[in-house]
Chain A
């Protein structure tokens, strides 16, 4: 990776994690927590969707600023940013659908094009879309823009499947898992890594949502009856534990002070 030797970029290590099984588990679960968390504030706490949306955007900007200032990948701030992007991406799509009455076909199409445009500009400027060399702030901004659009697109495309195909969460879990397995198979058969990574990233959004629904919805409706709050708490505990484990594994000699909640 000779990118690292060129001047300014040498000061910064790759800012984003390697794609492992843990990566995907946290990613899927953070989708659910992001959505139910925002829902909880809007409905149960009674802040309303507009107020909740505003709060989440402010939190996202703050989280992103902290993430951008880091010189290397730190699990807690990276994953906190992902959860916040997940919430905001979902809220953008919901606002378009519920407030502005924009058809899900239109929002799905527009977000796919926006994502494609992001990749096109990213590639044009950087000559690579590799997530293994996110070593400059500009590349990192491309990365987060792409992630925001995948969440918005994942929400729109997932809702579109729900509404136009009457795809309930039971079937949804199966269909989205099958699609994810197909993408995984394609990756192992040599289909290009950039394409399969981002496709999987989009698909895990509706998969996470239907998985959350499967656990939280009442038994009468075919769910496990855990309720949204309990489901979110369970997922949150798993996420925090995994991120804590990653932080411990990732601990460099200078970084001891920055480890959050590292159990001893």
Chain B
């Protein structure tokens, strides 16, 4: 039982990161219908930026997170304006391929600037393991829990009460109607990218602090796909939950079935779930007319 709990708790800790990345995917998908395949790479880039910031200014955790998020939001906006907006009117697939191209570029750029060796991201956090019941967690992983709670609450309030949040929901619902109601859909798209980049920043800093920054970090983005598919591509909160679920399932299958199962457990899970619910657990089924 202890073993089980330990696996579940550390699974949740890992899953939170998947959740943050997955929410980034969902944020963009629900507004624009595009999956940003460069989300993992963006996360990696931001993590390296945090590394440089931490190295130059000796920041603590919170100022670093804040500055990195701001930088990331700017990068997200830049990507939207330079690469994504000109693709409006093109098939979705083309835009997706643009993000894939961007992913390839970012991967190389990171190695070109920072080199290929892994480096620790020092945020001045204590590194001794905190014991919660049978499981040991790093302080950064506890921060992840807190951050996730804050972000979820913040996003919920934003989507529920703020004017822009409601406009975003309207755009996600029916784009044409939103346009007719006078919503600036272009701005909503840009905002979605900015928010998504902000989420990537949180994920990047967390991964950097918990493990280290290395040029293979983008694979975490790949591993987060099951999270967002499980939750439903257009459900931000579903992605958060999906991430946690995937983290737990990965850990349990690694612990009980065998080594290496971690890599594919999430993908196996979504294959099964999608057969039953082709739009994920919380995704909106698309009703089509001919």
The answer to whether A and B belong to the same complex is no
